Amino acid sequence: MPDNTPALRIRPEIDALEDSRIVQVWKLGFEVPDVIGLWVGEGDLPTPAFICDAAAASLKSGNTFYTYKRGIAELRQALIDYHRDIYGITLKDDRLAVTSAGMNAMMLAIESILGPGDNAVVVTPIWPNIFATVEIMGGQVRHMPLERRADGWHLDLDKMFALCDERTRVLYMASPGNPTGWTMTRAEQQAVLDFARRKGLWILADEVYARLIYDKPNGRKAAPSFLEIADPDDPVIVVNSFSKSWAMTGWRVGWMVMPPKLTHVVDRLIEFNTSGGQPFLQAGCVAALRQGEPFIAELVERYRASRDLVVQRLGGMRRVEMSRPEAAFYIMFGVQGMTDSLEFAKKLVHEAKVGLAPGSAFGPGGEGHLRLCFAASTDRLSKAMDRLEPYLN
């Protein structure tokens, strides 16, 4: 008997989403014993005890009910104090929202400002999830690849501005960047802000790695932020997260800073997406902000030593082309003669027993490269370099 059941429809934008190439390689590691995984973006240290203890105490005291959609009042105030101490700026409460991870903040932002047929200009290579957020909303990604030179990665602002047209709604850039460690200069940020003001475009600035910088001119505690130059009503949305600087990847808590006119929209979208976050986890975030500066300082020094080791070892391998990352905890390096980074990364998992992320996962500017996360001990990284050397020489 013929099956007359009508086909169930899935939105074509969703059905066409690609699986993450990083995850494709990561999953292979489940089948390979003794693999050294340097593929995903997290360190090998657990969350500090003082953060866990604050969350546990809040949980035990009964803070298990619904709370403010934009975050508990104590955390919002801690974020205001944090931005004052780190950036010297005064934020008002009506510009803040605590989110269920930095990724959730990105999704909320794109849901707010971009629709079917619109486009977003995205600086690449970049963490690929931003591509999916745009495509989920029926939008188009326009890639603006950075250029890798001996002295680092560089952005051609004129080319980026030329990509914009009447359907462009947002300029997205991550600074410091994943996977490159590229960091915008103050002059570049000002030029982008001036352009966005003239053209009526949103800036979506991913500043998740802002604290993980290794050269700190004038005693800065963080990479330059758009918040330092933007007026409160400027079209600037800054996304941040507790994941990287406080070793809290599994907690899934982030925040966003936006102009007040957008806050009520985001508040409403939080209701429809998650109805708000967990208050006991947010208590841990308060502890991170108020007590976490010594931990961040130790983390940066640990990652600096790891970066220097990886740069020194990779720099001695014949096929490797790279520049020294100035921030974040990745190195994105080219490999001479490699034409398919996904297949080569899979080969490294099976044969070298080292897991790296394929450069093609990060947009058109990434093919020909591999990304290595050096947020690990120098002993573990030294062992990984020994295994990689035969394949990169």
Instruction: Specify the pLDDT at position 1.
Output: 54
Which of 8-22, 232-246, 261-275, 321-335 is the least confident region?
8-22
What does the pLDDT average to over 229-254? Answer: 97
Confidence of residue 148 (pLDDT cuts 50, 70, 90): confident
- Answer for the pair 289, 82: CB distance below 8 angstroms, yes or no: yes
Question: Are 330 and 180 spatial neighbours (Cβ–Cβ below 8 Å)?
Answer: yes
Of 6-10, 120-124, 233-237, 378-382, the poorest mean pLDDT is in 6-10
Q: Which pLDDT score, from 0 to 100, does residue 342 have?
A: 96
Tell me the per-residue pLDDT of 277-333, one tens digit each, with 9 for 90 and over.
999 999 999 999 999 999 999 999 999 999 999 999 999 999 999 999 999 999 999
pLDDT band at residue 151, thresholds of 50, 70 and 90? confident
User: Where does the pLDDT of residue 358 fall: very low under 50, low under 70, confident under 90, or very high at 90 and above?
Assistant: very high
pLDDT value at position 15? Answer: 86
Q: What is the pLDDT of residues 186-205, one digit of tens each?
A: 999 999 999 999 999 999 99
Q: State residue 29's pLDDT score.
A: 83
Predicted confidence (pLDDT) per residue in 62-101, tens digit: 999 999 999 999 999 999 999 999 999 999 999 999 999 9
Residue 182 pLDDT grade (very low, low, confident, very high; cuts 50, 70, 90)? very high
How high is the pLDDT of residue 13? 85
CA quadruple 129, 25, 42, 272: dihedral positive or negative? positive
Could you report the per-residue pLDDT of 106-120, keeping only the tens digit for each? Answer: 999 999 999 999 999
Q: How confident is the model at residue 227 (pLDDT cuts 50, 70, 90)?
A: very high
pLDDT at 236 over 80: yes
CATH number of 12-47+294-392: 3.90.1150.10
Lookup: tokens for 296: 């961040």
Q: 265 is written with which tokens?
A: 């929209």
User: Under 8 Å CB-to-CB from 202, ≥6 apart: which residues?
Assistant: 109, 113, 169, 170, 171, 196, 235, 236, 237
Tell me the CATH architecture of domain 49-292: 3-Layer(aba) Sandwich (3.40)
> What pLDDT was estimated at residue 16?
84
- For the chain, the domains span 12-47+294-392, 49-292
Mean pLDDT of the chain: 95
Distance of CA 210 to the CA centre of its chain: 10
**Range list of H helices, 90-240:** 102-113, 129-136, 157-162, 186-199
State the pLDDT at residue 91.
Answer: 97
Q: What pLDDT score does 2 carry? A: 60
Contact call for residues 102 and 239 (beta carbons, < 8 A): yes
Handedness of CA 247, 180, 190, 202 (dihedral sign): negative
For 261-283, the pLDDT digits (tens) are 999 999 999 999 999 999 999 99
Q: Among residues of the chain, what percentage have pLDDT more than 70?
A: 99
Token pair for residue 279? 């208050």
The answer for 245, left when phi > 0, alpha when psi is -120 to 50, beta otherwise, is alpha
The predicted pLDDT at position 293 comes to 97
Confidence check: pLDDT of 11 > 80: yes
